[in-house]
Amino acid sequence: MTIPLSFGLVGAGWIGSFHAETLASRLPGVRLAAVADPDPSAAARLNAPKTFADPLEMIADPAVAAVAISSPAATHADLVVAAARAGKHVFCEKPMALTLEDADRAIDAASSAGVALQVGFNRRFADDFAAMHNKIADGAIGTPQMLRSLTRDPGISADVAARVKPWTIFNETLIHDFDTLCWLNPGARVTQVFAQADALIHPALRDSSFLDTAVVQLRFDNGAFAIAEASFQAVYGYDVRGEVFGSGGVLVAGREPDRAAPGNTDLFADAYIAQFAHFAECVRTGTEPSVTGRDARVALDIAIAARESVQTGAPVVIDGVLQ
């Protein structure tokens, strides 16, 4: 009988709670061994065999073979490095890091330790997006020429928005779209980014650098154009869609707006589960995950360029992107 892969989870917030349930009961061959969160009551709610206030103590626990990181974004890179140095396989929610230097540290740590590192770009595991990717890779629509990806969250209150970190719309929301667009244009590299963003939902927060609405134009080295857009207030529900127009046709993924789900764990429940199934299989077989730290770095590089473009009002050229 195969020994279950024991996970330690860092971060017991809303997405961490969903991941905890997945690791505890939704997948054969894996188990939730421990949870670390500075709020003891949050960790206790997940009914893990062990709870920790300090994630480093949990990472050091020999009962933990793999670490799932779903803590705030600013903590991700250091936790990836700590887990890798402890010899633990690592699944990290996006973004893996907030600077390219930290992304490189995380990638290097996992590579040096010989552990698996997968990043949570869950759209790659959604059936409709995966089918679109496979058809593009098989040449079903020829060469991609125009691509579009959008993310619209159901809404954000003014008090919550006031606590959101600056540039979150690029670092934590549109980073999904940046990864998706690169994945749907196989073998191509983003060379230029032009972004516009504003506070249209809560204009009073504009001066605090809170941006809730954004459109980003990408240019690829194969000539393709792409548009990524995001809003934090789609009153009809969570809305994620993609489209790729090619020299031989067009493909689409995602629900129509009037059927949008109330939240991302509703719309992408199966994809969230499938990404962990893939990660566990990679650990068992010693193969590299299909969504790597290098992919996370590529998406982050675009996010950083988008921020610079908003600040300067001009396109930003990306050189030497690791793709």
Q: What is the pLDDT of residues 228-248, one digit of tens each?
A: 999 999 998 899 999 999 999
Cα torsion angle, 284, 289, 290, 291, sign: positive
DSSP-derived letter for residue 93 is P
Evaluate if residue 109 carries a pLDDT over 80.
yes
Query: Please, which contacts does 109-115 make with residues 24 or more away whose CB atoms are closer than 8 Å?
Result: 109/80, 109/81, 109/84, 109/85, 110/80, 110/84, 110/293, 112/84, 113/84, 113/85, 113/87, 115/83, 115/84, 115/87, 115/88, 115/89, 115/90
| Residue pair 50/61 in contact by the 8 Å Cβ criterion | yes
Segment 68-95 shows an average pLDDT of 98
Are 233 and 167 in a shared domain? yes
Evaluate if residue 260 carries a pLDDT over 80.
no
For residue 286, tell me if it sits in a domain: no
| Identity at 173, one-letter amino acid code | T
Are 218 and 189 in a shared domain? yes
d(CA 181, CA 176): 9
Q: Calculate the alpha carbon distances from 256 to 77, 127, 191, 215, 241 in Å.
A: 36, 16, 31, 20, 8
Are 54 and 140 in a shared domain? no
Among the listed residues 58, 60, 49, the one whose alpha carbon sits nearest the alpha carbon of residue 11:
58
Note the pLDDT of residue 320.
56
Are 247 and 308 in a shared domain? yes
Confidence class for position 262, pLDDT limits 50, 70, 90: confident
| 33-80 confidence digits (pLDDT tens) | 999 999 988 888 998 999 999 999 999 999 999 999 999 999 999 999
Segment 145-161 shows an average pLDDT of 93
For residue 290, tell me if it sits in a domain: no
DSSP-derived letter for residue 170 is I
Are 151 and 43 in a shared domain? no
Are 140 and 235 in a shared domain? yes
Note the pLDDT of residue 44.
86
d(CA 100, CA 106): 10
Cβ neighbours of 18 (radius 10 Å): 19
Are 27 and 68 in a shared domain? yes
| Residue pair 87/67 in contact by the 8 Å Cβ criterion | no
Average pLDDT over all residues of the chain: 95
For residue 202, tell me if it sits in a domain: yes
Note the pLDDT of residue 321.
45
Are 97 and 163 in a shared domain? no
Confidence class for position 132, pLDDT limits 50, 70, 90: very high
Greater pLDDT, 207 or 149: 149
Token pair for 93: 């929610």
Greater pLDDT, 258 or 282: 282
Which residue, 58, 93, 115, sits at the end of a domain?
A: 115
| 312-322 confidence digits (pLDDT tens) | 999 999 985 44
Which residue, 72, 91, 115, sits at the end of a domain?
A: 115
For residue 323, tell me if it sits in a domain: no
Are 109 and 191 in a shared domain? no
Largest distance between two CA atoms of the chain? 59
For residue 29, tell me if it sits in a domain: yes
| Residue pair 246/142 in contact by the 8 Å Cβ criterion | yes
Return all residues near 19 (Cβ < 8 A) that are at least 6 apart: 9, 68, 70, 272, 276
Are 80 and 226 in a shared domain? no
Highest mean pLDDT: which range of 7-11, 155-159, 162-166? 7-11
Evaluate if residue 306 carries a pLDDT over 80.
yes
d(CA 311, CA 266): 35
Domain count, the chain: 2
Instruction: Taking each helix axis as running N to C, give the angle between helix 76-85 and helix 100-113, from 0 to 180 degrees, rounded to the nearest 10.
Output: 20
> Which domain does 192 fall in, by range?
126-271+298-317
Evaluate if residue 225 carries a pLDDT over 80.
yes
Note the pLDDT of residue 323.
40
Token pair for 261: 């789900």
CATH of the domain at 232: 3.30.360.10
CATH of the domain at 67: 3.40.50.720
Q: What is the pTM of this model?
A: 0.96
Note the pLDDT of residue 219.
98
Token pair for 124: 């790659």
Confidence class for position 19, pLDDT limits 50, 70, 90: very high
Which residue, 90, 115, 140, sits at the end of a domain?
A: 115
d(CA 62, CA 175): 34
SS3 assignment, position 107 = helix
For residue 283, tell me if it sits in a domain: no
d(CA 170, CA 176): 9
For residue 256, tell me if it sits in a domain: yes
For residue 292, tell me if it sits in a domain: no
Are 134 and 106 in a shared domain? no
d(CA 172, CA 190): 19
Segment 241-270 shows an average pLDDT of 91
Are 86 and 132 in a shared domain? no
